[in-house]
Amino acid sequence: MSSRPELQAPPEIFYDDTEARKYTSSSRIIDIQSKLSKRAVELLALPDDGIPRLLLDIGCGSGLSGETLTENGHQWIGLDISKSMLNIALEREVEGDLLLGDMGQGLGLRPGVIDGAISISAIQWLCNADKSSHDPKLRLKAFFTSMYGCLSRGARAVFQVYPENMAQHELILSFAMRAGFAGGVVVDYPHSTKKRKEYLVLTCGPPSLSTVVPKGKVELDSGSDYESSGDEENQTVCISDRHRPRKKQKITKKGKGKGWVLKKKEQMRRKGNVVPPDSKYTARKRKARF
């Protein structure tokens, strides 16, 4: 089994002309991308009023996920760092507007213009330092802060991610929460090794009664799918509610006390140091001078 792509090379290098064309021509990858994109759009929970929305596709690649947005009648902007991937998207004549850029440096879009955002298998790339100037924490902060700024209030962003480990999972989620998002993690098929998929479902704005994190899908033994009710044992999906980082409480140092002072003075005497003699005033708290 090959190692994870993000561990082999930076995305703009890994997805060169050869790899980008190979990726886009694979029927297996096309099928996977289609299923993941459809699920992401479903989790966006856009109003079913027939009005097309302007959506953002982060790490759009050659436009496979963007095609799902087009099929649903929406306009979209795709951002990717791989020029080779975007060139293939142009060859395929995708209907979205394409931007070449590094999401780790921020999105640079006007505030409040985006009605929703999706990302398929891209966010975890931010957790790697591909250059000496890269700091995963700063890159995650820049990405989520700029994402929060360009979304309209109440809009959702759905990121399908493959975190390498729990520490990476918590790192991504923590910076999303710090940017101001409400929401959590939805896991489809949590008990399946192959079908398990994790989505970060975020809402732009403070949590409210309308901020509901969807439930993940689970699979019965018969192979049929259904939505988890969240009440059944061992079938509850992992959902992390939004928690802003708490401010560190200042710890007030208490006085050492007379016993501690006498002990320290005795230690100093044993070392041969000159120490003032003990008296009734030793360790007595002095009044503040004005």
Q: Is the pLDDT of residue 122 over 50?
A: yes
Q: How far is CA 171 from the centre of its chain?
A: 7
**The whole model's pTM is what?**
0.71
Return the percentage of the chain with pLDDT > 70, whole number: 81
Integer Cα distance of 151 and 138 in angstroms: 20
Q: Is the pLDDT of residue 275 over 90?
A: no
Predicted local distance difference test score (pLDDT) of residue 286:
72
213 band by pLDDT with thresholds 50, 70 and 90? low
Predicted local distance difference test score (pLDDT) of residue 168:
87
Choose between 61 and 227: higher pLDDT.
61
What domains sit in the chain, N to C, each tagged with a CATH number?
A: 5-227 (3.40.50.150), 254-290 (no CATH)
Q: What is the mean pLDDT of residues 226-238?
A: 40
Per-residue HEC secondary structure of the chain comes to CCCCHHHHCCHHHHCCHHHHHHHHHCHHHHHHHHHHHHHHHHHHCCCCCCCCCEEEEECCCCCHHHHHHHHCCCEEEEEECCHHHHHHHHHCCCCCEEEECCHHHCCCCCCCCEEEEEEECCHHHHHCCCCCCCCHHHHHHHHHHHHHHHEEEEEEEEEEECCCCHHHHHHHHHHHHHCCEEEEEEEECCCCCCCCEEEEEEEECCCCCCCCCCCCEEECCCCCEEECCCCCCCCCCCCCCCCCCCCCCCCCCCCCCHHHHHHHHHHHHHCCCCCCCCCCCCCCCCCCCC
Q: Is the pLDDT of residue 167 over 50?
A: yes
Choose between 86 and 1: higher pLDDT.
86
User: Which range among 97-106, 156-165, 268-277 shows the weakest confidence by mean pLDDT?
Assistant: 268-277
User: Which range among 54-68, 178-192, 234-248 shows the weakest confidence by mean pLDDT?
Assistant: 234-248
